[in-house]
């Protein structure tokens, strides 16, 4: 069995993924933005889940979570689920936080990054990006960046299985009640990539939708764009991958 961190697991897809992994017998670390949200994870904690708390819009909080986890038993996998749809936290939460966790956490051999079909509408340009969230960020751009991050990690860390997942437009708090995709299917690919042992789940560098590999935005596998993104994030955070 594996030890797996699921970020943003107080509700929605993260909660469903954490619940499924616990049911499969894995050791799960759940994450909440603050203590109020952490209270929503009591039922998972009662089943043995461990808890970390930190607001991923705050870089110091991300570093604190990374330090806490690095000092504990090593992780086998991370599901980078935490995300926001709009507002100034888009870039800090959707791309800066998973980048920092990827750079700072030792050991995980499986990394799953939550993307979106919206990434196809993202712009492969780093000009003028407000990484600190002083202004509202583009959700589509953030998802293009995190999908590119997943591909870059797959290229640069050959011993790590790094993949991006489009969970579909599902009826979560973020997706809204009218979202047309199947909520039950929304978390299964993340669980499969984080802990599955069949050959397809043991591949790297993929962009997945409901366990089917898809072709992402053409910029995702552009190594020059990957390198520019990593350089920008390293300079912005003072932390190299």
User: Any residues with CB less than 8 A from the CB of 2 and at least 6 apart, and which?
Assistant: 26, 27, 76, 77, 110, 194, 195
Candidates 99, 113, 139, 207; catalytic one: 139
- Does the pLDDT of residue 117 top 80, yes or no? yes
Note if 143 is an active site residue. yes
Catalytic hit among 143, 173, 207, 209: 143
Model confidence band, residue 185 (pLDDT cutoffs 50, 70, 90): confident
CA–CA gap between residue 82 and residue 26 (Å, rounded): 20
- State percent of the chain over pLDDT 90: 92
The domain total for the chain is 1
Range of the domain at 127: 3-237
pLDDT tens for residues 206-238? 999 999 999 999 999 999 999 999 999 999 999
- Arithmetic mean of pLDDT, 31-51: 97
Query: Per-residue confidence at 168, pLDDT binned at 50, 70, 90?
Result: confident
Q: Is 139 a catalytic residue?
A: yes
Task: Find the mean pLDDT for residues 122-143.
Answer: 97
3 state SS of 103: helix
Radius of gyration of the CA atoms of the chain, in A: 16
The CATH number that applies at residue 183 is 3.40.50.720
Q: What is the pTM of this model?
A: 0.96
Q: Residue 75 and residue 234: Cα distance in Å, rounded?
A: 23
């Amino acid at each position: 069995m594996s030890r797996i961190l699921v970020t943003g697991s107080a509700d929605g897809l993260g909660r469903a993924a954490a619940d499924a992994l616990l049911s499969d017998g894995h050791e799960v670390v759940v994450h909440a933005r603050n203590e109020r949200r952490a209270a929503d994870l009591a039922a998972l904690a009662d089943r043995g889940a461990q808890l970390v708390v930190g607001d991923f819009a705050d870089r110091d909080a991300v570093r604190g979570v990374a330090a806490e986890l690095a000092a504990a038993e090593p992780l086998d996998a991370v599901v980078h689920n935490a995300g926001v749809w709009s507002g100034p936290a888009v870039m800090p939460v959707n791309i800066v936080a998973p980048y920092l966790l990827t750079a700072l956490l030792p050991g995980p051999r499986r990394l799953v990054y939550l993307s979106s079909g919206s990434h196809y509408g993202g712009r492969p340009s780093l000009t003028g990006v407000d990484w600190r969230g002083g202004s509202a960020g583009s959700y589509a751009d953030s998802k293009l960046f995190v999908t590119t991050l997943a591909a870059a990690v797959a290229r640069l860390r050959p011993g790590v299985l790094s993949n991006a997942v489009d969970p579909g437009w599902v009826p979560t708090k973020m997706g809204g009640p009218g979202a047309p995709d199947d909520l039950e299917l929304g978390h299964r690919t993340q669980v499969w990539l984080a802990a599955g042992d069949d050959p397809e789940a043991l591949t790297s560098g993929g962009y997945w939708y409901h366990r089917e590999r898809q072709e992402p935005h053409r910029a995702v596998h552009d190594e020059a764009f990957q390198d520019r993104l990593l350089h920008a994030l390293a300079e912005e955070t003072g932390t190299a991958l």
